[in-house]
Amino acid sequence: MTAERWITVALGFSIVASIGLVVTYLLGGQAQVEGMLLAVALGGLGAALVIWAASLLDAKPESEEVHPLASPQTAREAAWETLSPDEITRRGFLLRLMAGAVAALAAALAIPALSLGPQPGRALFRTDWQGGARLVGADGEPVRVADLGLEAVRTVFPEGHVGSPDAQTLLIRVRPGDLALPDGRADWAPEGCVAYSKVCTHAGCPVGLYRAEDHALLCPCHQSTFDVLRGAVPTFGPATRPLPQLPLSVDADGYLVATGDFAEPVGPSFWNMTHADEAED
């Protein structure tokens, strides 16, 4: 088949497909049909052009000279003369003062960029947890120890702050005898109910996976793994700090309550995190 015939066929397909597209749209549209018709409409036209270029045009290669682009020295000197006439270059002091003024103005104009966001202050050092806050589930209902089965895991929040991103906490029930918490935390996990911040200490993703038999919390983003029985210390992956633990106790009605906020900042590290005392709001 000659090139002309191919081009005719390609353009024919293209026209039919374009009409088909209009019809499909008017009939209500369908993603797969639209995609295929669009492909034929575009492709037919494209193929026609390419075949035209390949077969019907003159095939002789042509040549063009390439000269070095650098201008001759005389032209450069003339250009420099035009760019910096004596009236400007002579006034050294004024030029320097002008440069200083422009820099100062630039700084002044840039400063409103600070309106884009507030100062961090103490925001990274605290969450919505405080002593006496009851643990509630995502539905807002407080959690009773008796209702929490062994090997159950739940996401909990301080009462009144359901959905709080930095207060999100994992509540897990294990056998009390299996726990090997760090010193001083023996009373943080009543009846085997242990709570850790859900915000990964590596890059802040919620640590959403729990392997019940291994008592291991896994973060899906970069696979940091934390040992629930030993205070959520990292056992694999790029996280270096354990998940902060929330101290718990049980109130008179059998509900779980926090006895304070987390002891260290939740989530990923930042440069001055060991200087909580210096941060001001």
Partner 1 sequence: MKRIRLAALAFGILAVIGLPSLGRVDAQGEPELEPGSPERGEELFIVACATCHGRQGRGAASGPAITDAGAASADFQLRTGRMPLAQPPGEQPLRKPPAFEEQAIRDLVAYVASLGDGPPIPDVEIDASLSRGMELFVANCAPCHGATGAGGAVGGGALAPALDQSSPRIVAETMIIGPGQMPIFDLPGEDVSAVASYIEFLQTSDPPGGFSIGNIGPVPEGFVGWFVGMGLLALLAYLVGRDWRKAGG
Partner 2 sequence: MLRWFDDRLGLASFARSGLRKVFPDHWTFLLGEIALFCFVVLLLTGIFLTLFYVPDGTPVTYEGPYLPLHGQQVSAAYRSVLELSFEVQAGLVMRQVHHWAALVFLAAITVHMLRIFFTGAFRRPRELNWLVGIGLLTLALAMGITGYSLPDDLLSGTGLRILYSAALSIPFVGPYLAFLLFGGEFPTETIVSRLFVFHVMLLPALLIGGILTHLAILWRQKHTQWPGPGRTEHNVVGKPFWPSQVLKSTGLMLLTAAVLALMGGLLQINPIWTYGPFDATTVSAPAQPDWYVGWLDGALRLFPPFEPTILGITIPSPFIPGVLIPAAAFTVMALWPFIEARLTHDRADHQLLERPRDAPLRSAIGVTGLTFFVILTLAAGNDVAAIIFNVPVETLTNALRVAIVVVPPLAGLLTWRICRELRRRDVERAAGKRGGSVRLRRNAEGGFEEIEQ
Q: Is 210 left (phi over 0), alpha (psi -120 to 50) or beta?
A: beta
For residues 134-153, which are near partner 1 according to CB under 8 A? 138, 149-153
Q: Which of residues 208-227 bind partner 1 (CB under 8 A)?
A: 208-214, 216, 218, 220, 223, 225
Q: Give 11 or 36: the residue with its C-beta nearer to partner 1.
A: 36
**Smallest distance from the beta carbon of 171 to partner 1, in angstroms?**
11
Please check whether residue 194 is in contact with residue 182, taking contact to mean a CB–CB distance below 8 angstroms. Answer: no
8 Å CB contact between 159 and 134: yes
Rounded to the nearest whole angstrom, what is the least distance from the CB of residue 97 to partner 1 in the complex? Answer: 55
User: Hey, how many other C-beta atoms are within 10 angstroms of the C-beta on 261?
Assistant: 20
Q: Which residue among 22, 54, 88, 276 contacts partner 1 (CB under 8 A)?
A: 54
- The Cα 78–Cα 1 span in angstroms is 61
Q: Are 223 and 237 in contact (CB under 8 A)?
A: yes
| Span 21-50, contacts to partner 1 by CB under 8 A | 31-32, 35, 50
d(C-alpha 130, C-alpha 265), whole Å: 14
Q: Nearer Cβ to partner 2, position 49 or 78?
A: 49
Per partner kind, with CB cut-offs from 5 to 8 A, the member of partner 1, partner 2, none near residue 151 is partner 1
What minimum distance in Å lies between the beta carbon of 245 and partner 2? Answer: 18
Token pair, residue 232, equals: 């959520």
CA distances to 15, 26, 27, 37 from 20, rounded to whole Å, are: 8, 10, 10, 7
153 binds, among partner 2, partner 1, none (CB under 5 to 8 A by kind): partner 1
Residues that bind partner 1 (CB under 8 A): 31-32, 35, 50, 54-55, 59, 138, 149-153, 155, 172, 206, 208-214, 216, 218, 220, 223, 225, 236
